[in-house]
Amino acid sequence: MKKFKIFTRTFWKENSKKNEFNELIWTGGLEPCLGKKNTIGYAKNEEEARKICKDYNESHNPGRLSRKAEYTTN
């Protein structure tokens, strides 16, 4: 039986580097970057995993770096 691992991670990182015109290289000072996975739980099936992620994402502010819940098969 498959087990689904539920985790959070960020999708951006701060990057305030500037070009020769003193403009930020990355829009808003954010560079795309997948952050470290932080396990928050496990689910027995994909339906349960989707629900846990949906509930987490609806009840938590993703913030500037866009921290969100995802799942994968374990």
DSSP 16-58: --B-TTS-BSSGGGEEE-----EEEEEESSHHHHHHHHHHHHH
Predicted confidence at residue 2, as pLDDT, reads 74
For the stretch 4-60, pLDDT in tens is: 999 999 999 999 999 999 998 988 899 999 999 999 999 999 999 999 999 999 999
Residue indicated by tokens 């003193």: 22
Cβ-contact 22, 74 below 8 angstroms: no
Q: What are phi and psi of 64, to 5 degrees?
A: -60, -35
pTM, two decimals, is 0.86
pLDDT beyond 90 at 1: no
> In total, how many domains does the chain have?
1
Which domain, by its residues, includes 12?
Answer: 4-73
For the stretch 50-59, pLDDT in tens is: 999 999 999 9
Predicted confidence at residue 18, as pLDDT, reads 92
Q: Which residues contact 33 (CB under 8 A, 6 or more apart)?
A: 10, 11, 12, 13
